[in-house]
Amino acid sequence: MSTPSTRNRKCVHPYPDLLHLRDEQKADDTFVRVFDCVECGPYAIPLDIDDLKQPVRLQLQFLRQVIAIPEDKVAEIRQQRYAELHSRAGGE
């Protein structure tokens, strides 16, 4: 996956189009939350580390990355969720 661009605002697409991948500390010591959107592609938004719970904050500061969803699982999760949504829509 290419390096995500940094944006000031997140996109407005709902789950499962938009998935939160991870929180990470960049080389310039800023913190970002990385997203992957079907429409917008991968991007990151600035993250206020003080808003995170202490164990997560400490892990992020120590490891420089906290995984939310492994990148290789993104397509699989989307496909499963789309199938669930489609089956609900067809059954009603």
Reported as a single tens digit per residue, the pLDDT across 10-49 is: 688 888 888 878 888 888 888 888 888 888 888 888 888 7
Query: What pTM does this model have?
Result: 0.60
Q: What is the number of alpha carbons within 13 Å of residue 73 lying toward its C-beta?
A: 10
Range of the domain at 75: 5-91
- Given a contact cutoff of 8 angstroms between Cβ atoms, the answer to whether 50 and 58 are in contact is no
Helices (H) and strands (E) in the chain, counts: 2, 5
Q: Quote the number of domains for the chain.
A: 1
